[in-house]
Amino acid sequence: MDIFTIGFLVIALVLFLYSLKKDKTRTVEAMKKSRGMMGNMMSEIVAIIFLIGLVLHFVPPETISEVMGAGNTAWSTFLAAVAGSVTLIPAFVAFPLVGSLVDAGASIIPGVAFLTTLTMVGAVTFPLEKQEFGTKFALTRNLLSFSFALLIAVLMGVIL
């Protein structure tokens, strides 16, 4: 474990103990709720991690490098951005996926495009957003988010 992980664990433990001391009943109640929510999500998380493992096992690093590597950056960035826009997976699952793809030879730009559109663009949630905020707002927000996600990806490619 690195120093940052240890630091976050220590901070979480200290805050948890403080919460227990301040109001034990509410803390225990919150822990029960979080355990239930995590239990409901666990099968989906395991399935996604299993799928990632299968893809990384059966697709050779040369193929990943060829499709998402530096020689094919523009097209792979656009495809990764579209995939991120229509994908509805937790970000904490997407980060290790992108890290694994980059380790296997993918360029950082498509990875960043995937992550930013995953969190900023909501093609799957568009109908709900349209219903709550109106078509013009939902469409404008998603198009601007998609554009800025591509810009962020390009900037990260330039910086890194």
User: Tens digits of per-residue pLDDT, 128-160?
Assistant: 999 999 999 999 999 999 999 999 999 998 887
Q: Cα torsion at 148, 118, 94, 128 (round to 10°)?
A: 160
Quickly state the pLDDT bin for 99 (edges 50, 70, 90): confident
Predicted local distance difference test score (pLDDT) of residue 56:
77
Tell whether the model's pLDDT for residue 121 goes beyond 80: yes
CA angle, residues 142, 78, 149, in degrees to nearest 5: 40
- Confidence (pLDDT) at 73: 84
Q: What is residue 29's predicted lDDT score, i.e. its pLDDT?
A: 95
pLDDT for position 55: 77
Helices (H), 23-134: 24-58, 61-68, 73-86, 91-103, 108-120, 126-133
Q: Determine the pLDDT at residue 116.
A: 93
- The answer to whether 121 touches 142, Cβ cutoff 8 Å, is yes
Q: Tell me, what's the pLDDT at 52?
A: 77
Greater model confidence, 1 or 110:
110
Residues 117/141, Cβ–Cβ less than 8 Å: no
* Whole-number pLDDT of residue 66: 80
pLDDT digits (tens, 9 = 90+) for 29-79: 999 999 988 888 888 778 877 877 887 788 888 888 887 877 778 888 998
**What is the predicted pLDDT for the residue at 104?**
83
- Provide CB contacts within 8 A for 7, sequence distance 6+: none
